[in-house]
Amino acid sequence: MAKNLVGNHIRRLRFNHNEMTQQQLADKVGVTRQTIVALEKGNYSPSLELAFRIAHAFGLPLEEVFYYGEHVE
Amino acid sequence: MTYQEKKSIVSIVAAILIFGLYCAYKYANYPAEGLTTDETFHYWGAFVLVLMLVSIIAHIVISIIFNIIFRMTTGEKEPRFADELDKLIELKSNRNGFFVFILGFLLAMGSLVMDGPVQNMFVIMIVAGFLSDVTGSVTRLYHYRKGV
């Protein structure tokens, strides 16, 4: 399996948004919890549409939720 | 382990059990004397049709039982829809499953070209169908665990 180069801060953002659960985020953006788990593990690069929906769910621009390549916190 | 991973494992086990038990049953009832060509086609035609019917019914029953056990043990409901990740994984699993079946189909045609008995052709096709089913489920399990 090729290394996924699209990373994200979903886990941290969920925590910062009143400790939102994976299921709550999944319901907000219209996917299953499994997909949120895969995204947080870095096992899946979402479609552009889903990436925008997740960013909107956190009220942030796309680049504050997702990044490409190496990222240093 | 998530719902989809558990479901893939159940699907693999169910496919092996159904196919294994059905083949064992049919093997015990295999006609002892040599069959004429017409009887051979009839026997294997019935074999495939009944296997498909039994397999569909058994999969539905196993799926219902699995969902009930999943709800009871985890307290979660099974996902009611397939999202983009599910559809992508389904496409990959179908691709791999079809690839295995096409290989089996070509082998079966090859056995006819090599003047092999008609039974060989049917056996290869049936085994290819089974392997294709298992390959699809294994692919699904792999992608749900390792990602896409």
* Chain B nearest-CA residue for A50: B84
Whether A1 has a pLDDT exceeding 60, the answer reads no
Q: Is residue A36 within 8 Å of A25, Cβ to Cβ?
A: yes
Contacts of B146 in chain A (CB under 8 A): 1, 43
- φ/ψ region of A47 (left if φ > 0, alpha if ψ in -120 to 50, else beta) reads beta
Three-class DSSP category at A66:
strand
pLDDT, one tens digit for every residue, chain B (148 residues): 888 899 999 999 999 999 999 999 988 877 767 777 788 888 889 999 999 999 999 999 999 999 999 999 888 888 888 899 999 999 999 999 999 999 999 999 999 999 988 889 999 999 999 999 999 999 999 999 988 8
Please provide the average confidence, as pLDDT, over all residues in chain B: 91
Read off the pLDDT of residues B49-87 as tens digits, 9 standing for 90 and up: 999 999 999 999 999 999 999 999 888 888 888 899 999
Choose, out of B7, B78, B81, B83, the residue to mutate when testing the contact with A (most A CBs < 10 Å).
Answer: B83
Higher pLDDT, A42 or B103: B103
Q: Distance, in angstroms, between B14 CA and closest chain A CA?
A: 23
ipTM above threshold 0.90: no
The answer to whether A47 contacts B79, with C-beta atoms less than 8 Å apart, is no
Cα separation values, A23 from B56, B106, B121, B138, Å: 32, 46, 49, 26
Domains and CATH numbers, chain A: 6-59 (1.10.260.40)
Instruction: Tell me the C-alpha distance between B95 and B100, whole Å.
Output: 9
- φ/ψ region of A68 (left if φ > 0, alpha if ψ in -120 to 50, else beta) reads beta
Query: In what helix (H) or strand (E) does residue A67 lie, and over which residues does it extend?
Result: strand A66-68
Instruction: Tell me the C-alpha distance between B65 and B63, whole Å.
Output: 6
- According to DSSP, residue B81 is labeled S
